[in-house]
């Protein structure tokens, strides 16, 4: 028995729902039209969404790691986050900020932070919904909350997170970041606004709207894009031109045939194992080279 066939139009509808103007009811109505029946739409919807029950590639209680929920000073108030490091850490290590998608600090992003820590980094996954009380369990509610965030406050909280990790007792002072989807866009903005950031990895993230601001970037940049992600990819050429004009250290990779969010292994329809593994290998190599 094979599962229901998922088409590009269905994936595009889910992307419209999660990132643009379509609400849950509108999404299900559109999915019903695409599948032919409400029953088929109900079967396919969970395959398009993320299943957090599948999140843990590295167990939360993995003895190789030490993780804890922390609070630290943000740009305008307290920030919360998940800090994890190798259990056998004996000296200071480079630090990496792991920035979540537009679902907040969920089990998947915590798992990604643990994967980073296993590579020899101090990893901090901030909860950018902290100003609104933190990430709720309901992912749809979390998605709605992102529209309530103050963009300037988000940038200030990112810059404060860089400063916090640079001065942290576990850190060697070299700070990088990796982010996905909404987090990828936030990585790009953080690179523009945080001169102390040394390395930045953006997965399918929106590019800075102000091309002139790209000249302020000090970090080395690694930019991953999905070949099928027309919405985000529309900004690649202008961003590349701005980076080249400013003489920045950057690499761009486009993974042909991959969907937006191809790294998220909790999303059955969009996860692309080959692209995710290739991008991850490049990411870890890049962070080790740039952060020492």
User: For the segment 274-287, what is each residue's pLDDT rounded down to a tens digit?
Assistant: 999 999 999 999 99
- Rounded CA separation 92/83 (Å): 15
Is 68 a residue whose pLDDT tops 80? yes
pTM for the whole structure? 0.85
Q: What is the pLDDT of residues 218-230, one digit of tens each?
A: 999 999 999 999 9
Give 266's pLDDT tier (boundaries 50, 70, 90): confident
> For 162-169, what is the mean pLDDT?
98
- Range with the poorest average pLDDT among 47-51, 222-226, 239-243: 47-51
Q: What is the pLDDT of residue 62?
A: 94
Q: What is the pLDDT of residue 7?
A: 77
Whether the CB-CB separation of 233 and 206 falls below 8 Å is answered with no
Kindly give the residue spans of alpha helices, DSSP state H, lying in the chain. Answer: 8-19, 24-35, 38-48, 107-118, 139-146, 151-166, 182-193, 230-233, 236-245, 273-291
- Mean pLDDT, the chain, rounded, equals 91
Is 21 a residue whose pLDDT tops 70? no
């Amino acid at each position: 028995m094979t599962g229901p066939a998922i088409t590009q139009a269905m994936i595009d509808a889910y992307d419209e729902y999660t990132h643009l103007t379509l609400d849950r009811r509108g999404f299900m109505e559109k999915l019903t039209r695409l599948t032919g029946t409400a029953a088929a739409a109900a079967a396919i919807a969970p395959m398009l969404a993320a299943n957090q029950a599948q999140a843990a590639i590295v167990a939360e209680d993995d003895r190789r790691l030490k993780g804890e929920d922390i609070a630290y000073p943000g740009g305008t108030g307290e920030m919360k986050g998940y800090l994890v490091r190798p259990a056998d850490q004996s000296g200071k290590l480079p630090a990496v900020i792991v920035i979540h998608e537009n679902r907040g600090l969920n089990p998947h992003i915590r798992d990604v932070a643990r994967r980073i820590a296993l590579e020899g980094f101090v990893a901090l996954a901030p909860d950018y919904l902290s100003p609104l009380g933190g990430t709720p369990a309901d992912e749809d509610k979390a998605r709605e909350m992102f529209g309530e965030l103050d963009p300037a406050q988000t940038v200030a909280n990112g810059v404060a997170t860089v400063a916090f990790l640079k001065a942290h007792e576990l850190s060697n002072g070299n700070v990088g970041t990796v982010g996905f989807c909404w987090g990828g866009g936030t990585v790009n903005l953080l690179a523009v606004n945080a001169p102390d950031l040394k390395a930045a990895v953006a997965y399918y993230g929106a590019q800075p709207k102000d091309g002139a601001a790209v000249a302020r970037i000090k970090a080395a940049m690694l930019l991953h894009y999905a070949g099928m992600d027309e919405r985000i990819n529309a900004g690649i050429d202008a961003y590349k031109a701005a980076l080249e004009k400013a003489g920045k250290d950057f690499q761009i990779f486009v993974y042909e045939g991959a969907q937006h969010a191809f790294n998220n292994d909790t999303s059955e329809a969009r996860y692309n194992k080959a692209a995710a593994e290739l991008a991850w290998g490049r990411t870890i190599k890049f962070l080790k080279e740039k952060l020492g």
